[in-house]
Amino acid sequence: MNQKTLRLVETGVLIALAIALSNVKLYHMPYGGSVTLCSMLPVMLISYRHGVKWGLGSAFAYSLVHMFISMFVYGDLLSWGLTAQALIASIFLDYVLAFTSLGLAGIFGTKLWQYMGGMSFAVALRYLFHVISGVAIFGSALPENFSNPLIYSIVYNSFLIPELALCLIMGALLYVPLKKYISITKNV
């Protein structure tokens, strides 16, 4: 099998694994978002294995698949009662930009501290996009006990902290067995 075909197959398998793991929800937030069984890790591994450029493209593909599943299989996105403008903004902030940012995980390199730092950086960017979305789009629908949309969005989107912790733990456990795999190509 040639290298291009192998890269496509690996990417497809890792995206499929990420989608499958995203359906193993350990905790589901009431208005979207959940703690899953390391669903972000396979997407981030693509960036370590094939470089940031390929990682971003793959994460973008993952964002579209994830969005379509959320929209048409579960009906989540369409059931929120958003205006057309808010729906488009949510698609870009909560799906396209948030999940594509996972492709930046490999930006620092593949040594252990770079590997862990890259994961943390990518998830922090995803968190930032969700917080911005929470303030800009969902800020008008705050619960009665919250008056500040920024604070509410920061708190609400903190579901990504345990999600990141699980990815860091599993990533650390898999680092040695995957070290050779993620160090093979460096097409940044």
pTM of structure: 0.91
Q: What percent of the chain has pLDDT over 70?
A: 91
Sign of CA dihedral 90, 94, 98, 99: negative
* pLDDT for the residue numbered 70: 83
Position 155 in a domain: yes
Position 142 in a domain: yes
Position 18 in a domain: yes
Mean pLDDT of the chain: 90
* pLDDT (mean) for 92-107: 97
Position 188 in a domain: no
How does residue 75 score in pLDDT terms, banded at 50, 70 and 90? low
Residue 188 predicted with pLDDT over 50: no
Helix/strand/coil for 90? helix
* pLDDT for the residue numbered 80: 64
Position 187 in a domain: no
Residue 182 predicted with pLDDT over 60: yes
Scanning the chain, the segments in alpha helix (DSSP H) are: 3-22, 40-50, 52-68, 84-90, 98-100, 112-136, 149-156, 160-182
89 neighbors 129 (Cβ within 8 angstroms): no
Residue 161 predicted with pLDDT over 60: yes
Which residue range forms the structural domain that includes residue 68?
A: 3-182
Q: What percent of the chain has pLDDT over 90?
A: 68
Domain tally, the chain: 1
Position 92 in a domain: yes
Position 174 in a domain: yes
Position 15 in a domain: yes
Q: Answer with the residue of higher pLDDT: 141 or 165.
A: 165
